[in-house]
Amino acid sequence: MLAKISRHILELSVQEQQDFVNSFDFILSDCDGVLWLALSPLPNTGRTINLLKSEGKKCIFVTNNCYKNDEQFLEKFKLAGIDSVKSEDVINPNKAIVMYLKKYKPEERVFSVNNHVANEVFRNSGIDIETLDVTDNLDTAALARLIKPEQKVGAVVIDINYNLNYAGLAKAYQYLLDKDCELIMGGSDTHILMSANMTTLGFVDFAKYLSKYSHKQPIALGKPSPRFGDIIKEMYNITTPKRCLFIGDSLSNDIAFGTVCGFQTVLVLTGTSTKEEMLVAEENLRPDYYADRLADFIELFQNIKLTNNNIV
């Protein structure tokens, strides 16, 4: 089998550019590193997404960011100049976890070691959650009292949580000893982009830690898990994954996710992964296409329009 070669969207012939544009109905786009970097939108983000929408592409935003609620997300889209984004156009692990719990664990109590924003989303969605706040210095007896399971829970939920503490993990472990209690996690990011030039450790290893000692296989509901993809396909009624184009800046997260879901993929070089990394990546991490930036789509549409006008 021939190795997959990732092609730059502006290096395709005009006919290939036209065929490419005709080959998808849905754009599924990551946010951080594609639309914006930390606090600032990338140049022409709004113009590009608005153009894609005006060309009839349905745009959905798929992020592992679990530290923002709908209101905060919509504010970011507005700041970036992207028109008329609605709450239902944005999906992240918090929303996927709510969907999963409502479907598979209806009415069941959940123990959360997730962050306060996620917990608020769960509560507002009617999920009965228990959390653990630790303010005192603990000795062994106090810890034992604190982590004693209170009542049966159907799942333990974990994702990025800057206030995560040992007592919370220890109580999660106690609950996971129950055979019916599932371990649910969000994204599998190994690192978190804090600002344009600062990265820190992700939280995936805390989920692995709980998984290792409870012998529970985590149910991952963030990129790059295919289960997250199944939820997205169900939510947006996606029946032909090949007619979707996934745009992301991370090979291990976005491109792996797009590939496992059967979407076409584009890597943009404005975030985590570099062109050099792309060129030596394993087959499943190699995108179908790449672009220097999201705004390259503007030039691509100009090329097509110019040629069509000349023909007319």
Task: Report, in Å, the least distance between residue 193 CB and Mg ion.
Answer: 7
Q: Are the beta carbons of 267 and 290 closer than 8 angstroms?
A: yes
Residue nearest to Mg ion (CB): 33
Residue placing its CB nearer to Mg ion in the complex, 29 or 119: 29
| 193 vs 36: CA distance, rounded Å | 12
Task: Report, in Å, the least distance between residue 253 CB and Mg ion.
Answer: 7
Residue placing its CB nearer to Mg ion in the complex, 119 or 259: 259
Radius of gyration of the chain (CA): 21
Residue placing its CB nearer to Mg ion in the complex, 33 or 229: 33
| 205 vs 222: CA distance, rounded Å | 15
Among the listed ranges 5-13, 41-49, 73-81, 242-250, the one in contact with Mg ion (CB under 5 A) is: 242-250
Task: Report, in Å, the least distance between residue 63 CB and Mg ion.
Answer: 7
Residue numbers 138-177 binding Mg ion by CB under 5 A? none
Task: Say whether residue 33 binds Mg ion (CB under 5 A).
Answer: yes
Q: Are the beta carbons of 254 and 267 closer than 8 angstroms?
A: yes
| 34 vs 271: CA distance, rounded Å | 7
Among the listed ranges 20-28, 202-210, 225-233, 249-257, the one in contact with Mg ion (CB under 5 A) is: 249-257
Among the listed ranges 4-12, 24-32, 76-84, 136-144, the one in contact with Mg ion (CB under 5 A) is: 24-32
Task: Say whether residue 202 binds Mg ion (CB under 5 A).
Answer: no
Residue placing its CB nearer to Mg ion in the complex, 168 or 202: 202
Select the residue interacting with Mg ion from 32, 159, 182, 189 (CB under 5 A): 32
Residue placing its CB nearer to Mg ion in the complex, 33 or 168: 33
Among the listed ranges 31-39, 203-211, 234-242, 303-311, the one in contact with Mg ion (CB under 5 A) is: 31-39
Task: Report, in Å, the least distance between residue 239 CB and Mg ion.
Answer: 26
Residue 31 is encoded by which pair of tokens? 């946010």
Residue type, 87: S
Task: Report, in Å, the least distance between residue 125 CB and Mg ion.
Answer: 25
Q: Are the beta carbons of 117 and 68 closer than 8 angstroms?
A: yes
Task: Say whether residue 249 binds Mg ion (CB under 5 A).
Answer: yes
Task: Report, in Å, the least distance between residue 237 CB and Mg ion.
Answer: 25
Residue 182 is encoded by which pair of tokens? 């599932």
| Beta strands 110-112 and 90-91, pairing class | unpaired
Residue placing its CB nearer to Mg ion in the complex, 159 or 249: 249
Q: What angle do CA 125, 97, 29 make, to 5 degrees?
A: 105
Other beta carbons less than 10 A from residue 106's beta carbon: 10
Residue placing its CB nearer to Mg ion in the complex, 17 or 29: 29
Beta strand residue intervals within the chain, DSSP E? 7-8, 26-29, 36-37, 40-41, 58-62, 90-91, 110-112, 129-130, 155-158, 182-185, 191-195, 198-201, 219-220, 244-248, 264-268, 289-291
Q: Which residues bind Mg ion (CB under 5 A)?
A: 30, 32-33, 249
